[in-house]
Structure 1
Amino acid sequence: MGRARNVKLAAAIAQTGLSQARLAARVVSVAAEHEADELAGVGQSHIAKWVSGVVPEPPGPRILAETLSRSLSRLVTPADIGLTADNEIEPPTWSDDTLTALVTLGSTDMVDIDRRRLLANSVYSVAALALPEDAWFEPALDRARARKPLSSYVVTAQDVEDVREMTAIFSRRDQKRGGRAGRTALVAYLRTDVAELLRGRFPSESTRREMTSAAAELAYLAGWTGFDGGEHAIAQYWLTIATKLAEEAGDAPLAGHALRAMAHQAVDLGHPQQAVRLAEASLSSRRYAHACWRERSLLTVVHARGLAAAGEKKAAVAALLRAEQDLGRASDRDDEPNRVFFYTEASLAHETAATLRDLGDLPGAEAQFTRSVRTRRAQFARTHSVTLGYLGAVQAQQGHLDMACDTWSKALDAMTGVQSERARETVVQMRRSLSPFRNRAGSHAEELDARARSMLNQV
């Protein structure tokens, strides 16, 4: 049986009015911009083969889609031209066109009948954690400035404010209910309304940068909620897009914030060396120096966690001290971005405790987790439940089972209504710790285990 002709691609090429030879020349030009040397020899015969049904090797589909986007003055994704299945996600690359990557990922990161297959086929990529040299990031602003608009809509300051307001709503919902709550609406808004604004015309460079920064923060939140929901491959892709958008906006602190989230994810997934490198990138002079004190502390404490996981005790302790000093300099009078509203004494204590735990200082970790629980505000239910889960685990590790059971009982209370894989994982760990004791009829451990088993179906 022969290959099926790619009618979607043929139709798109026909709409451009270009010959296959002229289209091939444009593909070569776009490939050169992205340093995709493997496409330098594309000619008319390649276009003909792709139309006949041959699927080009990556990054061919993305480069061809971008070339057609420019020729048609509208966004074209690989899926639109039959070169990527709607339920397939390729590992992220820094050279991809940011806007195309945003829409392509957004179209797959939705709840539909193929979502389980999508998640099963998507893999967190350690290789993709390798960052480009600074020389790649530096011209990001110029690359974005040169991007041609794909829509006639003129973006306004009110549009920027609207995106920031929606981001604040989604962010507060995440803190209260967990990453899975409302995530479908967040991604839908990002890939439709926000993507359309990014395609529009900007009356000034400042408006372009403000809108791109607002979009970057929402993409960061899409990544963070994916991470909290346990969808690590998708989270990684969104955080990569967020970093690129932030660089294209010239918003160095926001780029650092997204890299910090990538470092946090790498620590949790057991890749400490990569986490340290990402955290160090988030602390680069331009990203750290222009951040507010609260955000500086957040960047530094995640660096400490990476160092601890990597076994670098002295450096981790020094980073913890620096994080505490930075947060101590924060003031209510500071001009702070909304994205750090959650980072308080309780947050610092939580991350400090996790660092001390990884360093083997269980009493110190217990004291800091307790401090976090004591100072946490009520609206942060998701993180509060995770902190209680971690505190119970540290208490159990020290042989204080009754104390741990009391703490875990409070954790289960706090998880009511929370939809978070990180919270769920603390319940799984809880049941592992309780397994030697769960068969003692009438015991506190047996009762708690039964509650934990029921909670696994809800979180």
Structure 2
Amino acid sequence: MKSPNDQLAYWLGRSALSRKELARRVQSKAAEWGQPNIAPNATRVRRWLEGETPRAPIPDVLAGVFSDHFGWRITTYDLGLGEGSSTEAALTYDPSFAATVEVVADLGRADVDRRTFLAAAPFAAVAGVGPSRDWLLNTLDQEPEPGPRVRLEDVSAVKNMFRTFQSMDVLQGGGSGRLVLAEYMNHHVYPLLRRSHDDTVRRALCEAAAEQTYLLGWMAYDNGEHSLAQRYLIQSLRLAEESQNAPLGAHVLAGMADQATLLGNPAEGRRLAQAGRQGLSRADSPACLADLWCLEARALALLDDRVAAARAVVQSERAYARADQVAEPDWAEFIDPAYLHGEHANTMRDLGDSQAAEEHANRSIEHARKQNRARRGAMSHAALAVSHLQRRDLDAAYSAGMRTLRLSGQVKSSRAIEAVQDLQRRMQPFGSNRLVADFNEHARELVAA
């Protein structure tokens, strides 16, 4: 015998809606979402209350109805109807803006309230194919709007918070403060997307929300939570399209490219970076273009295309030479010499060009030190250590490796830890040398901490 759904009964009672009215609103919301065949009645609502599980996508529609009624996000989980489709829906690039708002709001709630469930969700290796294609086609079809961009007070507040959280990520690592950002998005930003506003306000708000959603994805990526990061990035890309900001969308694709390459799919990483560059064909963001060329170089190096990788590095440097950081958006602030030279060092490392890797790593380290950027400093010191190992200079590699450990301990970043572990693997050919043993001992202490 089915157990009554007390959670659904609670929210229905709190709403003071009749069963008939709830059925009517479900039908209206379903039609809004492109599901005109969903037409429940009061009897069906009674069966749901008695414990019958409605077929998909009705749980998500119910969550949307109650969210509209109360003015804050109510999820299928809150209604006693399971996780709904929010986790898988977050991998989908939905043409409906209303549906996108529901998906990203559900994702934010799940990130805070049900992290264990989300952590078990898989990373989909080629989930970026459809979203990147749809973003590119829709971006190239858009005509630029006349007149200056309107900056409303609430949108300005969101953008100011973006700068705060971006600095936190850069200086302390993605694992520091991400849940605070998720809570902020859930309570202050995603609810704004549900309100009515004209097209100009909506574009500005979607731009701000896309920036913040990207940052959530990037911080999750830096903290090793790849399935969650992927879902945030895809939804950020959709919001960026709604904002009609092509450089921002290209920036999101750069993040997706970086993740794909890191997770062992450089061909997909290269394709995503190329899609981003194509999207910039009618817009100009030299910093973003430099990043996309940089990430394409990373992918090409892993694909063992030496000539194309070296050419991509040159293109990246040429693009950045045109950049004016004052004119670039806030999200491009840290696409700078510390970052770019650090990534070029990794490209040259993978190509086996230890001299070029050392040069780029040292330039990155110098800039990172001036900015107190421990995470970037740690990763660039790791690249420097590898360049020394490639020349069989264990003493120099050990010195750079110890600096990697010291800096990695200052941030909460799985990428910094992975750079340490990569160094451990690369030191294995040196056997039981005392320097290797000492480095491994300190590395174990760091990972345990």
| TM-score bracket relative to the smaller structure | 0.7 to 0.9
Could you list the per-position Cα deviations for residues 154-208 of structure 1 after superposition, in whole angstroms to 9, with x for gaps in the alignment? x982222221111111111111111111112111111111123323344x53333
The alpha-carbon deviation at position 420 of structure 1 amounts to 0.5
* 8 Å Cα contact 1:209/1:250 also seen in 2: yes
Paired residues for 1:163-182 under 5 Å? 163-182=158-177
Check if 1:232 corresponds to 2:217: no
Check if 1:368 corresponds to 2:366: no
The alpha-carbon deviation at position 120 of structure 1 amounts to 4.2
Q: Which residue of 2 aligns with 1:44?
A: 40
Q: Distance in 1 between matches of 2:135 and 2:366?
A: 45
* 8 Å Cα contact 1:89/1:118 also seen in 2: no
Q: Distance in 2 between matches of 1:8 and 1:406?
A: 59
Q: Distance in 2 between matches of 1:409 and 1:212?
A: 43
Q: Which residue of 1 aligns with 2:188?
A: 193
Q: Distance in 2 between matches of 1:189 and 1:389?
A: 34
Check if 1:354 corresponds to 2:346: yes
* 8 Å Cα contact 1:20/1:44 also seen in 2: no
Q: Which residue of 2 aligns with 1:385?
A: 378
The alpha-carbon deviation at position 64 of structure 1 amounts to 4.3
* 8 Å Cα contact 2:135/2:237 also seen in 1: no
Q: 1:246 to 1:432 in 2, by over 3 A?
A: same
Paired residues for 1:239-254 under 5 Å? 239-254=233-248
Residue of 405, 408, 412 corresponding to 2:405: 412
Check if 1:92 corresponds to 2:85: no
The alpha-carbon deviation at position 13 of structure 1 amounts to 6.1
Q: Distance in 2 between matches of 1:403 and 1:293?
A: 36
1:5 match: secondary structure: coil
Q: Which residue of 2 aligns with 1:455?
A: 446
Check if 1:184 corresponds to 2:175: no
Q: Which residue of 1 aligns with 2:64?
A: 66
Could you list the per-position Cα deviations for residues 285-304 of structure 1 after superposition, in whole angstroms to 9, with x for gaps in the alignment? 4x354242122211221122
* 8 Å Cα contact 2:374/2:410 also seen in 1: no
- Structure (1 or 2) with the greater helix fraction: 2
Q: Distance in 1 between matches of 2:429 and 2:270?
A: 36
Q: Distance in 2 between matches of 1:342 and 1:136?
A: 24
Q: Distance in 1 between matches of 2:380 and 2:45?
A: 55
Q: Which residue of 1 aligns with 2:420?
A: 427
Q: 1:193 to 1:449 in 2, by over 3 A?
A: same
TM-score (norm 2): 0.84
2:77 match: secondary structure: helix
Check if 1:297 corresponds to 2:294: no
Give the letter aligned to residue 29 of structure 1.
A
* 8 Å Cα contact 1:137/1:247 also seen in 2: no
Residue of 317, 323, 348 corresponding to 2:316: 323
The alpha-carbon deviation at position 85 of structure 1 amounts to 3.9
Could you list the per-position Cα deviations for residues 395-453 of structure 1 after superposition, in whole angstroms to 9, with x for gaps in the alignment? 2244222211011011122223211000011222233334465745xx33322222211
Give the letter aligned to residue 40 of structure 2.
Q
After TM superposition, the structure 1 stretch with the greater mean CA deviation from structure 2, 86-95 or 247-256, is 86-95
* 8 Å Cα contact 2:344/2:360 also seen in 1: yes
Q: Which residue of 1 aligns with 2:275?
A: 281
* 8 Å Cα contact 1:276/1:306 also seen in 2: yes
* 8 Å Cα contact 1:87/1:118 also seen in 2: no
* 8 Å Cα contact 1:392/1:408 also seen in 2: yes
Give the letter aligned to residue 121 of structure 1.
A
Q: Which residue of 1 aligns with 2:153?
A: 158
After TM superposition, the structure 1 stretch with the greater mean CA deviation from structure 2, 402-411 or 344-353, is 344-353
Q: Distance in 1 between matches of 2:58 and 2:297?
A: 40
Q: 1:88 to 1:30 in 2, by over 3 A?
A: closer
Could you list the per-position Cα deviations for residues 93-148 of structure 1 after superposition, in whole angstroms to 9, with x for gaps in the alignment? 112722222221112212x6x64x33541221124222244489639999xxxxxx
What is the aligned-residue identity percentage? 30
Q: 1:390 to 1:53 in 2, by over 3 A?
A: farther
Q: 1:394 to 1:278 in 2, by over 3 A?
A: same
CA RMSD of aligned residues (A): 3.3
* 8 Å Cα contact 1:76/1:100 also seen in 2: no
Check if 1:271 corresponds to 2:265: yes
Give the letter aligned to residue 172 of structure 2.
R
Q: Which residue of 2 aligns with 1:343?
A: 335
Give the letter aligned to residue 309 of structure 2.
A
Q: Which residue of 2 aligns with 1:128?
A: 127
Q: Distance in 1 between matches of 2:278 and 2:9?
A: 46
The alpha-carbon deviation at position 22 of structure 1 amounts to 3.8
The alpha-carbon deviation at position 52 of structure 1 amounts to 4.8
Q: 1:355 to 1:28 in 2, by over 3 A?
A: same
Could you list the per-position Cα deviations for residues 18-70 of structure 1 after superposition, in whole angstroms to 9, with x for gaps in the alignment? 457645643552342xxxxxx66444387676555454565553344335545
Check if 1:216 corresponds to 2:210: yes
Give the letter aligned to residue 79 of structure 1.
Y
Q: Distance in 2 between matches of 1:370 and 1:59?
A: 54
Q: Distance in 2 between matches of 1:169 and 1:394?
A: 35
Q: Which residue of 1 aligns with 2:79?
A: 81
Mind listing any 5+ residue stretches in structure 1 that lack a counterpart?
Answer: 33-38, 143-154
Q: 1:137 to 1:301 in 2, by over 3 A?
A: same
Q: Which residue of 2 aligns with 1:4?
A: 3
Q: Distance in 2 between matches of 1:135 and 1:243?
A: 7
Q: 1:256 to 1:62 in 2, by over 3 A?
A: farther
Q: Distance in 1 between matches of 2:303 and 2:384?
A: 22
Q: What count of residue pairs does the alignment treat as equivalent?
A: 431
* 8 Å Cα contact 1:20/1:48 also seen in 2: no
Q: Which residue of 2 aligns with 1:106?
A: 108
Q: Distance in 2 between matches of 1:312 and 1:128?
A: 25
Q: 1:349 to 1:156 in 2, by over 3 A?
A: closer
